[in-house]
Structure 1
Amino acid sequence: MAQPLTRINRLERELHLRQLQVRRLLQITQAINNNVSAGDLFQMYRSFLSSELGVNEMALFVRESEHDERWQLATSIGVDDLPTDLDYADELQRLKRPGNIDEPDHPLFRHFEHVVPVLHKERPIAFILIGSFTDEEDMFERVQIITTISNVIAVAIENKRLFRRQIEQERLEADLDLGAKVQQMLIPKELPTNDFYELSAIYRPKLGVGGDYFDYREFADGKLVFCIGDFTGKGVSAALLMANFQANFHTLIRKRTDLHAFVTEINESVYRITNGDRFVTFFVAEYDRSAHQLHYVNAGHPPAVLVSENGFQLLDKGTTVLGSIDELPVLEVGTVDLPPQALIVTYTDGLTDLQSAAGETFEEEILYQFARRQHYRSAGLFNENLLAKLEEFRQDNEYPDDLTILTCRIFGE
């Protein structure tokens, strides 16, 4: 009579465990559907293992982030002396299959008897280390229940992480899309061409929206002002700063003050907006047709190149970047008496950051020598030939940054 009773007792115990499992799975599923925080899920998990399954020692390790090889202790039971200076990744990665642990002298594993790795798409996303139980009966069933519950918890946490990443990615894409739309409204769609001068541009933002900017303004007295700049930052923040800068550019340049006063004022306006946290490198030039002179200021920007049949000259006089300090310490306006025919090439550092397949950069000297050979070209044809040379130079390499080139051809009298 004793044998059937023992079997019935065991069946009753197993049924009780299964009922616990189903009940707790239902509660955890409802919590996940209600978007309970990871901390609360871990607390439910810990409570179930401790109070209902009688686990005396347990440690749950999860990845710190999706692409991170580091592991962190998410929750534990009965272990307060786990080593903090141990590389958990190296120790855990060798436990690739569920099974027993028999390492009583190991600083991490000495508390535990079982390991359960949780896999998601064949990669480990969690490790559960289990020690002793208050009741040693039905050990196999208890470990199986822990495995099931742990898989549900770990996958839920992983899905939360992936969902957060998706939301962040969507925000970034929306930010870039809005920034690109704002920026496209700021960049001139057409550039002037007449008997006296011609402007042509190459404009390639790396991510659809970048920090490069160029602009121009023509006046009834025949003068032409053109500029190029490179803003720190990307996305909407850079586009909004650029929009404000463009508004100030056109407002201040219409006052027809000299370039010294213009650059001083536009620096103050950028500093007011950014409080010195953002800045812009900037080159601005004014062509005076009647005097056949070029006045310019280079504010921390790669020097523009003035090219003619007599050679080339770097336009490097000016000041520091705009917006980093409220008052520019030094500001020099450069003046050049132009030769009868001249080509002025301005660019952002995306040009000289470009690399060949051999790892060589498109250095300034390459540009200077190319410009000397092409100085007689129109601005449009010069840019077309320069772009072809850049494509040949980079081959399969991507452009590392935004690329902008603004070329001005002066025809003279």
Structure 2
Amino acid sequence: MSKYISPEKRLFLKERELGALLEITQAITLDSPEAALYKIFQFTLLGQLNIRRMVLYVKEEGQWQCVVSFGGGMVDFYRLPLPEHILEHSPTQPVPVADLGLGDEWHQLELLIPVQHRGETLAYVLIGNVHDDYVPEEATKFLETLSNILIGAVENRRLGRQRVAAAAMRKEIEIAQEVQTMLFPRSLPNDADVAVHASYVPHTAIGGDYYDVVPIDKNRFLFCVADVSGKGVPASLLMSNFQAGLRTLLRQQADLATIVAELNNLIYRNAVSEKFITAFFGIYDRATRELEYVNAGHNSPILLCDDHHHELLADGTTMLGIFEELPFLKVQKTNVPSRSLLLTYTDGLTEVFDQEVEEFGEEGVLNFLRQSRYVPLPTLHRELLQEIEGFNSEGSHFADDITILTCRFK
């Protein structure tokens, strides 16, 4: 039988509900911190609706935690996890606590109210001793409304923070991409003595590969291919320091040994999270056809001669940034015969695997070069990338950045 409430009492209760709504909405409008919103919710239920016991569990970052607990004689719900029984059954409608079969510590609470936002349960409100003057159905409905307003506001704030953070991350990525694009040379040598072509295929929005070609004088130019451990903004920033250091040393007319040693010192001082760089440095002299180089822990470039003899340029030093001073450093020189082809690359090119988990590897690159070495360099790069894409068990999805820099010596 329905409980009778006089019009005067009903008006009084509606005034209390309105007061509760005003308190909550004002707190939301004033952009109060979430902890303050929970406190206001607690005091509103206590002061306006005379609810003496209440526990609020909220799902934050995928974890359930108690954010409000008040009422005399109750256990410390802040230390008590939300019961597995509730999580397993995930009620979507108010349920009497007595029907849930929970432990003794829950018996002072009478009603469980799930709070949903966009079809997902984000909170559970558990209350005890609702105001005696209320019709239970009316009290439950209003508490649902009030709880939904509160949790909806908290969730919208969380989503707002996520949007702001995502926008900041996108901007950060855009800036890093711009920085990375600026690192690459705008033009490459293509004259009577040598032609150079480069390709770069990033694995993620911000890769960790780098290449450069820098004129030194009318006969000599330096070329470099490098790979930073890791990806993202930190790798991009470290690579920009690397390029700035390289260019500065070249302007100071430093020799190759000094360039490599100073870059190692720069990376050692500036790298974070145990980052390091592998790199290959080459200086080619058009007049003497001499190539001076240092391989700093990088994949060995392949120098393929016209008679199909090949040389792997492996000598040099260890990767940069690991030791304060390089434990050894050898600057190697080699003469480059006419009609030779030099292919320098990062490990994303060779560390590609087929369905049998066989690696494309250095041998795969060498076999391809022997068949296609005389085609124009842009075509050679395109066909080489197609070759590893066809070999790759994951098709066009590569596990790492791919950088190719090729020199054709005429």
TM-score (norm 2): 0.86
Contact 2:195 2:407 survives alignment (8 Å): yes
Q: Once structures 1 and 2 are overlaid, which stretch shifts more, 393-402 or 289-298?
A: 393-402
- The answer to whether 1:36 aligns with 2:32 is yes
**1:360 & 1:111 partners in 2: Cα distance?**
65
Q: Within 5 A, what are the aligned runs for 1:290-369? A: 290-308=287-305, 309-354=307-352, 362-369=360-367
Gaps of 5+ in 1: 1-5
Q: Within 5 A, what are the aligned runs for 1:236-255? A: 237-255=234-252
Do the aligned partners of residues 234 and 398 (structure 1) sit closer, same or farther apart at CA in structure 2, a change above 3 Å counting? same
Contact 1:355 1:397 survives alignment (8 Å): no
CA apart distance, 1:161: 0.8
**1:136 & 1:362 partners in 2: Cα distance?**
79
Q: 1:96 maps to which residue? A: 91
Q: Within 5 A, what are the aligned runs for 1:219-298? A: 219-220=216-217, 222-232=219-229, 234=231, 237-274=234-271, 278-298=275-295
**2:366 & 2:14 partners in 1: Cα distance?**
79
Question: What SS does the corresponding residue of 1:281 show, helix, strand or coil?
Answer: strand
Cα-Cα RMSD: 3.0
CA apart distance, 1:353: 4.8
Do the aligned partners of residues 157 and 354 (structure 1) sit closer, same or farther apart at CA in structure 2, a change above 3 Å counting? farther
- The answer to whether 1:115 aligns with 2:112 is yes
AA at the equivalent of 1:54: N
Could you report, residue by residue, the CA deviation over 1:279-334 in whole angstroms, capped at 9, with x for unpaired residues? 32221112234443332222232332222343443322222332343222222233
AA at the equivalent of 1:43: K
CA apart distance, 1:11: 3.4
Q: 2:13 maps to which residue? A: 17
Question: What SS does the corresponding residue of 1:398 show, helix, strand or coil?
Answer: coil
Do the aligned partners of residues 159 and 364 (structure 1) sit closer, same or farther apart at CA in structure 2, a change above 3 Å counting? farther
Gaps of 5+ in 2: none
TM-score (norm 1): 0.85
**2:106 & 2:364 partners in 1: Cα distance?**
61
Could you report, residue by residue, the CA deviation over 1:37-87 in whole angstroms, capped at 9, with x for unpaired residues? 11001111112223333334322222222xx3x322222223434495857
**2:340 & 2:406 partners in 1: Cα distance?**
11
Q: 2:384 maps to which residue? A: 386
**2:349 & 2:264 partners in 1: Cα distance?**
25
- The answer to whether 1:173 aligns with 2:170 is yes
Question: What SS does the corresponding residue of 2:158 show, helix, strand or coil?
Answer: helix
Do the aligned partners of residues 92 and 55 (structure 1) sit closer, same or farther apart at CA in structure 2, a change above 3 Å counting? farther
Do the aligned partners of residues 113 and 396 (structure 1) sit closer, same or farther apart at CA in structure 2, a change above 3 Å counting? farther
Do the aligned partners of residues 111 and 201 (structure 1) sit closer, same or farther apart at CA in structure 2, a change above 3 Å counting? farther
AA at the equivalent of 2:291: L
**1:401 & 1:44 partners in 2: Cα distance?**
51
Q: Once structures 1 and 2 are overlaid, which stretch shifts more, 350-359 or 160-169?
A: 350-359
Number of equivalenced pairs: 402
Q: 1:49 maps to which residue? A: 45
Q: 1:126 maps to which residue? A: 123
The one of 137, 141, 166 equivalent to 1:140 is 137
**1:87 & 1:300 partners in 2: Cα distance?**
53
**1:89 & 1:349 partners in 2: Cα distance?**
48
Question: What SS does the corresponding residue of 2:349 show, helix, strand or coil?
Answer: coil
Contact 2:301 2:342 survives alignment (8 Å): yes
Do the aligned partners of residues 255 and 137 (structure 1) sit closer, same or farther apart at CA in structure 2, a change above 3 Å counting? closer
Question: What SS does the corresponding residue of 1:154 show, helix, strand or coil?
Answer: helix
Q: 2:153 maps to which residue? A: 156
Contact 2:228 2:235 survives alignment (8 Å): yes
CA apart distance, 1:152: 0.5
- The answer to whether 1:217 aligns with 2:214 is yes
Percent of aligned positions that are identical: 34
Question: What SS does the corresponding residue of 1:35 show, helix, strand or coil?
Answer: coil
